[in-house]
Amino acid sequence: MATSNRVRAANRDILARLRTLRIVPVIVIDDPKDAVPLAAALIDGGLSCAEITFRTAGAREALRQIAAAHPRMLAGAGTVLTPRQAAEAVDYCLEHEIPVYPGVCTPTEIEMALGKGLETVKFFPAEPIGGLPYLKAISAPYGSIAFMPTGGINPANLPNYLGFRKVVACGGSWMAPADWIATKQFGRIRAETEKAVALVREVPIAGESRGATS
């Protein structure tokens, strides 16, 4: 099913926010009671977005609580592997006119996404599969598609990824790892998020500054 005009409009709005934020915290959360204070820590640190991975039983309720408490936060579901999980995430994707960014790591998977009318995808697992050189190689034939690398992204390699003009934003878990969430170290999460935001501000937007990576 091809993307509808409403999905395209929603995609544009979301991508505009992601291009501004440039980082998406990838969250693994066990206890839904931690969801709202976690969201507050991210927002206070300067990141009003999060990907809640459906790797835990509490993910669905955590996502619901964040959406209820912080409706302006850009919160999405990650690691959605089955139709049932998609339904739980209110993520029926194209059929229900909700934006979706599928994970890809090969040209064949990029072609599949393009066949559905999708022009933004998650590149996963970014570092284990070959990192930025591999992403540049497989993305070369596809002029219109944009990527959100996730998997092995950290403060050391983040600037290089963000310097590539086809990268919208990067997903990472270093500012809010699962053990910090489980032990309720929300002040530490806020502080690490602030550092990540400060780092991003130092990275020129590709194509808008001399020396940016093409």
Residues labelled as active-site residues: 51, 122
Buried b (16+ CB within 10 A) or exposed e, 170-201: bbbbbbbbeebbeeebbeebbebbeebbeebe
Kindly state the greatest CA–CA separation across the chain: 47
Contact 161, 126 (CB under 8 A): yes
Contact 49, 171 (CB under 8 A): no
* β-strands 120-123, 146-149 pairing: parallel
Beta bridge partners of 10: none
